[in-house]
Structure 1
Amino acid sequence: MSRADHASRHVHQEHAGATLVSEAQSVLTAAGEQWTDLRAAVFRSLADRTAPASAYDIAEALSAAAGRRVAANSIYRILDLFVRTNLANRIESRNAYLVNTHPGCRHDCIFLICDSCGKAVHLDDDVLTRSLRAAAGEAGFNDVRPVVELRGTCAGCS
C-alpha cells in the first residue's frame, strides 16, 4: 500500500461477537442512554446479519423469538438511537440498517451494496469524504455527513 493510500484509510479496531456487543453497550451507556433488554436484542439481531436489515425484519425476528408481537415502530426508535450513537449505519437507499463493527469510532460512510444478494460492505476513505465535505462547503452547505452508496454485484454473486 502506498503512503497516499495508507493516509486515505481510516484505521480502527473491528469487533465481533460478544466483544462487539460489550463495546456497543459501553458506547451507548457512555452517551447517557440505557442498555435495555430490547435494545440488546435489537443490536444482537442486527449484528447477526450479513445483509442490511429493516426495522420490520428485526421486529419479525424478535417477535418469533419472544412469542409475542414486537412493534416495528419501537424498533425504528431504537435503530434511530443506534445511528445517533454510532452503533449502526443506515443504508439510505434501502431504508435498512447495518451494525457498526467499530462503534467507538466516528467517520463518514461509504457502502458497496450487492444488487443480487443484498450484502453491504462498509469502506473508509477519508480523502474521498473530505473532498465531498469540501465541495459541499463550497456550495454553502455546513455540517455535511457524507453517506455514499455504490451498487453493483459482489464477488460471490459474480
Structure 2
Amino acid sequence: MAHEHHRHEGESLATAAKIAMEKSGEQWTQMRASIFEALAAFDKPASAYDIAEKVSQEQGRRVAANSVYRILDLFVGANLARRVESVNAYVANDHPGCLHDCIFLICDNCGQATHIDNDTLSGGVRAAAEEAGFAAERPVIEVHGRCGECVGG
C-alpha cells in the first residue's frame, strides 16, 4: 500500500526524533540528542565506533562505543534509526513516524545505502515466512550491488 511520507531533515528531523522517542516513553537526553545528531550527519551508514568518535570530538571527551550501541538499539526500537545488518552500521530514519520493514540497497563500491519502502515486496516475504510456519518479527532485506553513481561513473 503506497502512501506519502513526510521526510524530515536537519532541525525538523531532530524534532521528529525527539517526539518519537518521547512517544515511546523514553526521555530525549542531551547524550541521545548528540548521538542522533551525529548519526544523521553521516551520508553513509555509520558504525557505533564512527558515531562515538564524532561525538567524542565534538564534546572534547571520550564517549564509549558501548554507550553508543545501547542508545542506537533504543533508536532502532523507537524507529529513529535503521540497522544495516550486513555492514553492522546504522542510518537515521528520515520518517520516524512511519513504520516499514527495512529494504536496503547497498553499494559495495562507495558504501552508500538507500532505504526504500515497498510494502508489496516485504509483505511477500512475510507471507512466505507465514506459509513456512514462521512468524517474521522484523524482516530485513538487503541488496548488495553498485549504486547509479558508481555504475555510471
Same fold? TM cut 0.5: yes
Cα pair 2:79 2:93 within 8 Å, conserved: yes
Structure-2 residue corresponding to 1:100: 93
Q: Does 1:59 align with 2:52?
A: yes
2: distance between equivalents of 1:118 and 1:143? 28
Runs of 4+ in 1 over 6 A off after TM superposition: none
Deviation, 1:13, is 1.2
Structure 1: 5+ residue stretches without partners = 1-6
How is 1:39-50 mapped onto 2 (pairs within 5 angstroms)? Answer: 39-50=32-43
* 1:15-70, Cα deviation, whole Å (9 max, x unpaired): 11100100000010111100011100110011111100000000011111111110
Cα pair 1:14 1:101 within 8 Å, conserved: yes
How is 1:1-80 mapped onto 2 (pairs within 5 angstroms)? Answer: 7=1, 9-80=2-73
Amino acid at match of 2:25: G
Larger deviation, residues 96-105 vs 11-20 = 11-20
2: distance between equivalents of 1:144 and 1:55? 24
Structure-1 residue corresponding to 2:130: 137
Deviation, 1:146, is 1.4
Cα–Cα, structure 1 residues 143 and 149, in superposed 2: closer, same or farther, change >3 Å? closer
Cα pair 1:108 1:129 within 8 Å, conserved: yes
Specify the SS of the correspondent of 1:156: helix
Structure-1 residue corresponding to 2:115: 122
1: distance between equivalents of 2:3 and 2:67? 33
Deviation, 1:144, is 2.9
Amino acid at match of 1:109: C
Cα pair 1:59 1:75 within 8 Å, conserved: yes
Specify the SS of the correspondent of 2:148: coil
Count of aligned residue pairs for this structure pair: 151
- Superposed CA RMSD: 1.0
Query: Could you state the TM-score of these two structures normalised by the residue count of structure 2?
Result: 0.95
2: distance between equivalents of 1:11 and 1:93? 28
